[in-house]
Structure 1
């Protein structure tokens, strides 16, 4: 059985995985869905959180697990799991990008977003704080942009629980290396009816930073609510398709010859 660590995206918290965690656990897997500092039910001041803090927080959870994990990042969570992988590459079996930002070293989420023109569906979707340090999702944009194929009851849940996002997550450059982050197996799950991250951009990112596999789901940006059974099935299938190099690695990160990857 496998351990999944599920990292939520912008304006969200651990709550967004509530339909996925039981499905994974029912099949004997371990599923951990934390609130990132300052998000969800975590009370850390948003003005003080950084991308590095988020990544170190996730890396610490990864280190606590007895075996290498499957680390899943949704949307903005993609940059968090990428940065975390730089710190603990030997403790991650596979990075899974779920409709997520797959950003190269030195680039920001905002720069990546601007690679394609904005679409009409996403117009006026954010409300910025007076100081510009945080943003929230405009009430009419929760369904329109993020949950356009999700049942009404779950849209209402997202509307009630979504909160502010620190804008530093859009403007902080990723700092990763080929030797560490680049050594980790990657899988991308694209969502074909996504209005938050255009499918065109998802395919562009996955092509330019090649992944072992690209999985397609015909759903909106939030399959954890709109298609939980389908998403859980794909996540569990990933556990059966791990790369050959991982099969040769022991739980402490050593390969069968005794070599161990260096950690930060």
Structure 2
């Protein structure tokens, strides 16, 4: 059995993993959901940069003295999770990217796509990216109740974590990794992911749901995570 450390993407906290964590514990794993600095119940902590979020993850692994670690990063949290995976050494069993961005050395979350509107929103809101409204979750396999849960639990996201570049310590495709592509959010992985998937150390799994599978299909996502740890 493995020690899962799960990190949700933009605007979200540990609460987003409640149902997935319950399923994993029922299968005999330990499951720890982590809220990154500046978000949810930690929104009043000092201003956080991307490397703050990397340290949050590494320090959680060390604080809990975990050994057989599966790091799980959703959406933009894939960027700090990927960096943290390189830094925990032989504690790492696998890293799982859930419909996530992956770190590219020297590039930020906002690199490589038309993101001027995000930068402007961050500037207009005191350095934070404001959460989406309910209408922005349409077509992602979510019920009205699930959308309300996400919107109600979202907090503004520290903008610097999205604009600072990643700093890798080695080739990311050398890590044992699973990439979970959520098909309602597009059926092709982004180019950076597609490049890493050419590695024998990486595998691709698909889910027929939207970008927030921990809410829309928590049991299915938990099964994917459980199966991933059986990989060599």
- TM-score normalized with structure 2 length: 0.88
Q: Using the alignment, how far apart are the partners of 1:51 and 1:203 within structure 2?
A: 21
Instruction: Show the counterpart of 2:215.
Output: 225
Give the match for residue 52 of structure 2. 53
CA distance in 2, matches of 1:37, 1:166: 9
Matches within 5 A, 1:152-163: 152-163=144-155
What is aligned with 1:78? 78
> Secondary structure at the residue paired with 2:15?
helix
User: Unpaired segments of 5 or more residues in structure 2?
Assistant: none
Distance in 2, Cα, partners of 1:23 & 1:112: 36
Alpha-carbon offset, residue 177 of structure 1: 2.5
- Unaligned stretches of 5+ residues in structure 1: 244-264
The offset of 1:79, in angstroms, is 0.5
How big is each residue's C-alpha offset from its partner over 1:87-114, in whole Å with a ceiling of 9 and x where there is no partner?
2132211110000001321111111434
* Structure 1 counterpart SS, 2:124: coil
Equivalent pair of 1:62/1:68 in contact (CA under 8 Å): no
Does residue 189 in structure 1 map to residue 156 in structure 2? no
Quote how far apart the aligned CAs of 1:15 are. 1.1
SS of match in other structure, 1:5: strand
Judge conservation of contact 1:51–1:168 (CA < 8 Å) in 2: yes
State whether residues 5 and 70 of structure 1, in contact with CA within 8 Å, keep that contact through their aligned partners in structure 2: yes
Q: 2:143 aligns with which of 127, 146, 151?
A: 151
Q: Which runs of 4+ in 1 moved over 4 A?
A: 126-129
Tell me: CA distance 1:112–1:65, structure 2 relative to 1, closer, same or farther (3 Å). Answer: farther
Corresponding residue for residue 5 of structure 1: 5
CA contact (8 A) 1:206 1:214 kept: no
1:30 is aligned to 2:30: yes
Are the equivalent residues in 1 in contact too, given 2:80–2:103 (CA < 8 A)?
no
Look at both structures and tell me which one has the larger radius of gyration over its CA atoms.
Answer: 1
Partner of 2:99: 99
User: Greater share of helix residues, 1 or 2?
Assistant: 2
